[in-house]
Chains A and B, each alone.
Chain A
């Protein structure tokens, strides 16, 4: 036993030093580097309604605006298919880039979950200040958790109430069991490397710093505890959660917890739809290795339902 303790006491600090010095091999072809950035940083007017119409007309203000928030480590690419699908619609979409995202690995590493949320709040308040009265929100994965956190914190008590809040594969409980211990083992791992295609590397971080996984854990734990106590939906807001049955990232139990913990002011429950899918964020099909007719049908179903409530 003493010998074992001696070996551990010698090896552990060496292991920690080696691990903590590890730096990811970032290339210029990755979002993580300092060459590729999210395009919304160069041309916000192509992504944000507030930037495209800084002085809206009365006609503009009558339009319904949907703020679309992507998930952890992703970019505005995640909602581009819905933006393109909605090209001829009467509503407009603000595709926000969460702060800390779409920039360099170091920018991402330094960001907190409150920074991620700030981009949603900023666009919401800009639209509100401009005079828009019909605003809805959609959040995929962590974007969904951030929208839940806004409801939990009572943000909408002092703002206009969103018409709709849609959640797509929202994360409150992770599928990946190691994620819950990232706070403990993270400093030894430094970062997580994700197996994704070279093309996906341009839109999702290839290396995910352990600090950001801890931030993700913080926000989902905060939301989960809020749901345990009960979160009230803003009055008049319609909420629906769509969730892939075999979601490999955000456990479907997340939507069970949301269904239990979220309720309208009249005590009624939110709408829930479970999709026959095994992919995370089933509404994004571009750059998937293969897309089945069922997945196309799931995407169309969700898009159509959202559009119906926005028109």
Chain B
């Protein structure tokens, strides 16, 4: 499953390898009434199609780097692909509309729980704000998203709760202005 997602991402990226902007960074995420799940984030804007307005991205967040670190919390990993639209062109700050989709896998660890739900498909609209100082190669992104129920609620892990917020700090690997 992980490999399938990575292949899809690489396929998307290969549509136009000439990037206008490529951001990579770290993401800190908290789910309301549930875990801290932290990880990595990347965003990519095409040079020839809505540069610096439309971004596609891939995020990986895990409770292993959050609440589950050194605790009994469940280890769960989320692989998230996103499309974002940046409003307010040519400004250091942007309002962002984002749609995320992906896959969550929770490690229930013991065989006795094999029959219980341990994974879920993810779909989450998100609103965000980003600030990018003109003279620095960084961007700070705040997002508030909501996982929509993609299946019956008792068929997904109880550790998947809907409302989450995240803070992502990006480093602009390159920003090729046209």
Task: Note all chain B residues with C-beta closer than 8 A to A259.
Answer: 110, 112-113
In this assembly, does B119 line the interface, its C-beta being within 8 Å of a C-beta of chain A? Answer: no
Contact A221 B33, beta carbon cutoff 8 Å: yes
In this assembly, does B99 line the interface, its C-beta being within 8 Å of a C-beta of chain A? Answer: no
Contact B32 A256, beta carbon cutoff 8 Å: no
Nearest-CB distance from B173 to chain A (Å)? 31
Over the window 250-266 of chain A, the binary record of Cβ atoms lying under 8 Å from chain B Cβ atoms (1 yes, 0 no) is 01111011011100000
Contact A260 B109, beta carbon cutoff 8 Å: yes
Specify the chain B residue showing the minimal Cβ separation from A172: B158
Which of A211-244 touch B at CB < 8 Å?
Answer: 217, 221, 227-230
In this assembly, does A173 line the interface, its C-beta being within 8 Å of a C-beta of chain B? Answer: yes
The answer to whether residues A177 and B154 also contact, given A228-B73, A229-B72 and a CB cut-off of 8 A, is: no
Picked from A248, A256, A274, the residue with its CB within 8 Å of the CB of B154 is: A248
Picked from B72, B113, B157, B163, the residue with its CB within 8 Å of the CB of A180 is: B163
Which of B8-33 touch A at CB < 8 Å?
Answer: 31-33
**Complex Cα gap A172–B161 (Å):** 13
Q: How large is the interface on A (under 10, 10 to 19, 20 to 34, 35 or more residues)?
A: 20 to 34
The answer to whether residues A246 and B115 also contact, given A177-B161, A228-B72 and a CB cut-off of 8 A, is: no
Specify the chain A residue showing the minimal Cβ separation from B162: A177
Contact B32 A181, beta carbon cutoff 8 Å: yes
Task: Note all chain A residues with C-beta closer than 8 A to B160.
Answer: 177
Task: Note all chain A residues with C-beta closer than 8 A to B158.
Answer: 172-175, 251-254, 257
Contact B72 A260, beta carbon cutoff 8 Å: yes
Total A-B pairs, Cβ < 8 A: 86
Q: How many residues of B contact A (CB 8 A)?
A: 29
Over the window 100-128 of chain B, the binary record of Cβ atoms lying under 8 Å from chain A Cβ atoms (1 yes, 0 no) is 00000010111011011100000000000
Specify the chain B residue showing the minimal Cβ separation from A280: B154
Nearest-CB distance from A192 to chain B (Å)? 15
**Complex Cα gap A176–B157 (Å):** 11
In this assembly, does A184 line the interface, its C-beta being within 8 Å of a C-beta of chain B? Answer: yes
**Complex Cα gap A256–B157 (Å):** 10
In this assembly, does B149 line the interface, its C-beta being within 8 Å of a C-beta of chain A? Answer: yes
Nearest-CB distance from B77 to chain A (Å)? 16
Picked from A184, A217, A247, the residue with its CB within 8 Å of the CB of B163 is: A184
Q: Could you list which residues of chain B lie within 8 angstroms of chain A, going by C-beta atoms?
A: 31-34, 67, 71-74, 106, 108-110, 112-113, 115-117, 147, 149, 153-154, 157-163
Q: Could you list which residues of chain A lie within 8 angstroms of chain B, going by C-beta atoms?
A: 172-178, 180-181, 183-184, 217, 221, 227-230, 245-248, 251-254, 256-257, 259-261, 272, 274, 278
